[in-house]
Structure 1
Amino acid sequence: MDLNKHDMTKKMIYTNTEMVPGREISEVLGVVTGNVVQTKHVGKDILAVLRSVVGGEITGYTQMLTEARQKAISRMVIAARELDADAVVSLRFTTISIMTNASEILAYGTAVKLKD
């Protein structure tokens, strides 16, 4: 993927709705995806076990998953730019356990062109 081909200054619209408010879709370009496989840090696992005993948020995992979602979105946006899309609609996320201590987060949606 050559990032230099893409105008990285162009803001990409992405939304979980089927349309962009106030804009009309002129063309559907196809499904775009972005994913990341994230592993757990052994130290975080130990802290998670301790936290599960006393209760509360496991902030290390929250931060890890937030960063993973952002990476997945970024990769999806790059895929949409490769199609010369103006926006991604119907954004969704899914996650799956790949192996012990590793999960994939997938962001996907429909790349579209918008009328001017």
Structure 2
Amino acid sequence: MSDTNPPADHAFVDEKKTGTPIEENLKSRATWKRFLFMLISCILISLASIVGSFIVVFGFLWLLFTGEVNRELRGVGQSLATYIYENIRFLTFNTDDRPFPFGGKWPDSGTEEE
């Protein structure tokens, strides 16, 4: 057998990958970029939850004093709920589409006028 031919078990080794999958993922810029977006998304969800709490309280007070549901406030609440939903989908790896402000646009309210 010739010394110039590699052994059969080394014939298809990819020279570019030098480490284990964990090492490759730890060195991957895309992995850390996603982590950063996920961290910021968690902070934004927390802020959105606080805003949502104010919307709930204000909406209840509006109903209490006027006897009517505020349509604009309902639209803002729907839009905020959709935003939180889109963030949760991104955080749980159900989508790779980055939510607002990282690539997507702010969701529409989606409420219908009565």
Specify which structure has the bigger relative contact order, considering alpha-carbon pairs within 8 angstroms and separated by 6 or more residues: 1
More helix by share: 2
Greater C-alpha Rg? 2
Global fold match (TM > 0.5)? no
Structure that is richer in strand per residue:
1
Give the TM-score, by structure 2 length.
Answer: 0.30
